Amino acid sequence: MSELVATPSGRRPISSRLAALLILGLVLLGVSIRLFGPARVDWLRAALVVFGSLVIQAVPFVLVGATAAALIEVLVPIGAFERISRLPRPLRLPAAGLAGVLLPICECGSVPVARRLVHRGLDPSSAFTFMLAAPVVNPVVIASTFYAFRGRDTLWTMVLGRTGLGLLVAMAVGWALGALGKEQVLRPVDEEDRGQSLELGKPEPRWRRFFVHLADDFLFMGGYLLLGASVAAVVQTFLPQGILERIGGTPVVDIVLMMVIASLLSLCSESDAFIAASFTQFGPSAQLAFLVFGPMVDLKLGALYAGSFRRVVVQTILAVAAVTTLLGSIWVGALTG
């Protein structure tokens, strides 16, 4: 019997050409560094040190996250999520958010899962709470945040603050969308679009599906990691430290700026803690806002949201997540001094 097979995150699989181009680019970068001797150029040496340290620390967590997401895609039945609908109403949103602690799905993977859950009858508020909480509170993200901030006085503020505030923001968005029904939140899928993401054929072996999902997610997230590390290296190298220190010392403005940077960088939540930790000119409140807001609202997610949900959902996610993250970060900063 045939079945419909979809890509795990709603995006097109990574092509062999794209993977070859990525590998070729890294090889050319290595050859250029070898030939031109960046050690003789101070600014280039400084940028490469920042870039290399960020990538080396973050890649293992990206790989672990991609592996976990692939295992979940292959082994965990969708019915495991639907049990949340049977819980009493006051427990649904906390349970949906905490489900993300057990299931390390990246932000791109959580969007199609949430859409599928709503299609299967899960109330939209629970589905959206899970969608936003999973990329922030899952074990891989918690571990990477701990590793990125180890040895600092703000370690537990960042780890516990990210988990707690991320869960709070996700539940706030779920509560705000609680009055909407299935038809009010989902965009209808055109047959042409459906044909691009689904194909009719024989079920693939689980081992093959696992490695396809693993390669797809790792290359996709790795590309954004390289972009984020490059931007962080450029900012840390070329932007005058006095400007960063002035902005980093301005209450509220520093938080808003870090939220904007997180949205523009569009990093994977498994690696963004290393980028946030590199902005040492900013205080823990601003770094926390970066870590909570980025995995919920960024450029790549904007495209996924727009293609999956109606406009009212996208607007609500943006507004509620931004306000709740801002206020929560201010409170965490005030409580921790």
The DSSP result for 291-331, as a single string, is HHHTTTS-HHHHHHHHHHB-HHHHHHHHHHHHHHHHHHHHH
Q: Quick one: pLDDT at residue 194?
A: 42
Number of H helices, E strands in the chain: 17, 2
Q: Are 13 and 212 in contact (CB under 8 A)?
A: yes
d(CA 110, CA 182): 17
CA distances from 257 to 253, 254, 282, 326 (A): 6, 5, 10, 11
> Considering the chain, what percentage of its residues have pLDDT values greater than 90?
26
Three-state DSSP at 25 gives helix
Q: Is the pLDDT of residue 68 over 70?
A: no
Q: Which of 325, 280, 265 is nearest to 107 (CA)?
A: 265
Distance between CA 179 and CA 26 in Å, rounded?
49
**pLDDT at residue 145 in the model:** 95
Tell me what the mean pLDDT of segment 128-149 comes to.
91
196 contact partners, CB below 8 Å, separation of at least 6? 12
Lowest mean pLDDT among 144-153, 242-251, 276-285, 318-327: 242-251
In this prediction, residue 220 carries a pLDDT of 66
Per-residue tokens: 11: 């995006």
pLDDT at 193: 43
Lowest mean pLDDT among 121-125, 219-223, 269-273, 308-312: 219-223
Amino acid 289: pLDDT: 96
Assign residue 121 a region: left if phi > 0, alpha if psi is -120 to 50, beta otherwise? Answer: left
pLDDT of residue 8: 42
Most confident of 15-19, 93-97, 108-112, 195-199: 93-97
155, two tokens? 């370690």
Question: Is 28 a residue whose pLDDT tops 90?
Answer: no
Angle subtended by helix axes 311-336 and 124-137, to nearest 10: 50
| Residues 261 and 272: beta-carbon distance below 8 Å | no
Strands 198-201 and 3-6: antiparallel
Q: SS3 of 178, please?
A: coil
Mean pLDDT to the nearest integer, 109-131: 81
Query: pLDDT by residue (tens digit) across 2-21?
Result: 333 344 444 444 456 656 66
Instruction: Tell the residue number behind the tokens 């050409």, with chain if given.
Output: 17
User: Does position 307 have pLDDT exceeding 90, yes or no?
Assistant: no
Distances (CA, A) of 135 to 21, 109, 111, 208, 287: 28, 9, 10, 25, 17
Average pLDDT, the chain: 77
For the chain, which residues make up each domain, given as ranges?
3-336
Q: Is the pLDDT of residue 262 over 70?
A: yes
Whether residue 23 is predicted with pLDDT greater than 90 in this model: the reply is no
